[in-house]
Copies of this chain bind each other. A is one copy, B any other.
């Protein structure tokens, strides 16, 4: 029996601070922007973070030889403007990730992904600094200083992996960080700059070393950033990866360790830690992402991540992504909250539901969280990561009015577009009708009732892998003159025969 209590629970709800995205250049696409529009309409994130700002498809950095045989640099901000305009029009701002390396500025040929992001250090750190500064100055010219300094900046992505940073070279990354940090702060000290953007490989020693480096170099960093993925042992079959999920307690503990390392430095104590990527699987070919189980598991994380972290950016908002190439089918285990065809996945709703949890936390448990609302009602989310039906009851607050009670259920029976698509025969090309049906079948089931003043508790069964949103508020009935709901339901047919 859930009993609400005041002042007991800590719930720092940063669910809408940031969301991830595929490489920046994809933001030119119509399809991408439609998915972003849906996410912004229903959830509304503040920031968006992705790779590839400086990759060649954004076409920012150019060198050419002039008539005297000298090498000159040119910057092209045509596509950057299009992307930033598109973001701002959809009421979202960039969480800037500096990377990857323009080929013309790179020291080597190592690339990552289908879209070939160059992951080698700059051939010339001064030109790298100039590139950062030219880019920021351009953004400031176009959008204004007061706007642009609110955009957080992170240096590179997962340098602790050799694929993302040649040889995972720690010293080289620290150099990159320092040069980047200094270049940014020269423009305006107020920029919020952070690193080391690591994932969970050697994270403890990386973080310790990074902070020691900053300490030694007297770099007054503003934030610390890292990633969180929660699977083990992906098994590959054909194009797909099948995974197992780690114990969420263990995952949260990983973050606590990071938090403790940060807080162990006097200079950095209590600095905001941003989880600039998180998800279950780290691979965009994992069907888990499309499932109800993912939705329930993520709910459990969203209830806890705010304890250690200033934000946690789900990787990614949509399935226009391309790291492993162009997907063959609409559902393909991509990271997105939204599948191609603009179909919300179950996890989309987890975010929609948590976004509504504003107010003081009055209950937080292993599988449920509740806040109270100003009007005397409450809102909550219940999730079920198990294979059995979960039965929760809530002890209702005392009240002198009826409650309007609403449940929105997302579970394998009623809101499972992956299953419907499977039953359709797993078509790779969706017709308009199929897309509409999948979208319709990807909405929560809504159940409502009136709770009389006398009712003291309510039962809430949640199916396996289900996530349920609950909202309850007091009502003042004021029926229109002569309107009698009971009487309406007494109509009958006069049969002659």
Contact = CB atoms under 8 A, between A and B. Distances in A.
A425 interface: yes
Q: Which of A76, A288, A332 has the most CB atoms of chain B within a 10 A radius of its CB?
A: A76
A423 B404 contact: yes
A449 B423 contact: yes
A476 interface: yes
A413 B424 CA distance: 27
Given A29-B30, A328-B74, A492-B244, A446 B440 contact: yes
Contacts of A426: 477-480, 483, 485
A78 B429 CA distance: 7
User: What's the number of copies of this chain in the assembled complex?
Assistant: 4
Given A33-B30, A86-B30, A243-B491, A420 B448 contact: yes
A326 interface: yes
A340 interface: yes
Interface residues of A, number: 98
Contacts of A297: 493
Interface in A400-427: 402, 404-406, 413-414, 418-420, 422-427
A77 interface: yes
B406 A437 contact: yes
Interface in A221-268: 232, 236-240, 242-250
A494 B437 contact: no
Nearest to A30: B30
A399 interface: no
A448 B240 CA distance: 25
Interface string A191-219: 00000000000000000000000000000
A252 to B, nearest CB: 12
A146 interface: no
A428 B478 contact: yes
A30 B82 CA distance: 10
A75 to B, nearest CB: 9
A169 interface: no
Contacts of A482: 236-240
A443 B447 CA distance: 12
A291 interface: yes
A480 B328 contact: yes
Contacts of A479: 426
Interface string A481-497: 11111011101111111
A250 to B, nearest CB: 5
A389 interface: no
Nearest to A33: B30
A290 B242 CA distance: 49
Contacts of A425: 402, 404, 475-478
A126 interface: no
A196 to B, nearest CB: 27
Contacts of A494: 232, 244-247
A10 interface: no
Contact of A326 (B78, B291, B422, B476): B78
Contact of A78 (B74, B328, B405): B328
A70 to B, nearest CB: 13
Nearest to A287: B488
A236 B487 CA distance: 12
Interface in A306-340: 325-329, 332, 340
Contacts of A413: 447
A171 to B, nearest CB: 35
Contacts of A86: 30
Contacts of A443: 440, 443
A12 interface: no
A81 interface: yes
B424 A249 contact: no
Given A247-B493, A291-B488, A440-B444, 5 more contacts: A78-B429, A245-B492, A425-B475, A425-B476, A426-B483
Nearest first, the 3 A-B pairs at minimum CB distance are A238-B482, A425-B475, A238-B481
